[in-house]
Amino acid sequence: MVSLSTWFRYIAHKLEYSVSLSRKSYKIGQITNKEVQDNVWKNVFQGKLTYLHWSKGEEMAPAITTEGGTLLVRKLPSADPTYSLANLVISFRRVFVGDVVILKDPEKSDDYLVRRLAAIEGYEMVSTDEKDKPFVLEEDECWVVSDNEALKPKDARDSRTFGPVPMTDIVGRVIYSLRTAVDHGPVQNSRFGMQKDSPVLAVELDIDEMARNHKA
């Protein structure tokens, strides 16, 4: 049973997401200024903060098996927004180093990748190859890697081969993985990410639904 405090935290997350999503829709011209408020409340009462995503391949083993897994993904309208309200700048992150994220595939525009966020803007990147010069990730850049350390970089298909990717290409954080009907559990993310996701998991996690949508 979900506690009252967990419900309050969940509703707060839904409100934050709805405001961000409506603001984003307004900025790109999908809705008018008058429609923003209605859109916010519609998302709060009717929308969900998660969706299911099927992923397979050895890149993220053992968290996601080679045969594939059904993932519960927390939706993110923007990975790192900054708001300005009457000269007051409010900046906060929604993803953190250590999180398993889903992002647009930089090499296949219609596909998505599941990788772990290893570094964000301001981090200095140093290679084990002395021929490669160190560099610092610039604004809105991040570095993602596969979990499977046994793979060579070319097989892992991560930032070691395609380089930094925009933070804006991150669309969600993977918070739960179902490998089989009896083998499932929360994904190990950063401490901050798991704290933010705990009320979402408590309310929206549905193992039976994930099992029904499992392709294996």
Q: Residues 186, 178: contact at Cβ < 8 Å? A: no
The answer to whether residue 160 is catalytic is no
Active-site entry in 9, 74, 94, 115: 115
**Annotated active-site residue in 9, 59, 173, 179:** 59
| Annotation marks residue 116 as catalytic | no
Residues involved in catalysis: 59, 115
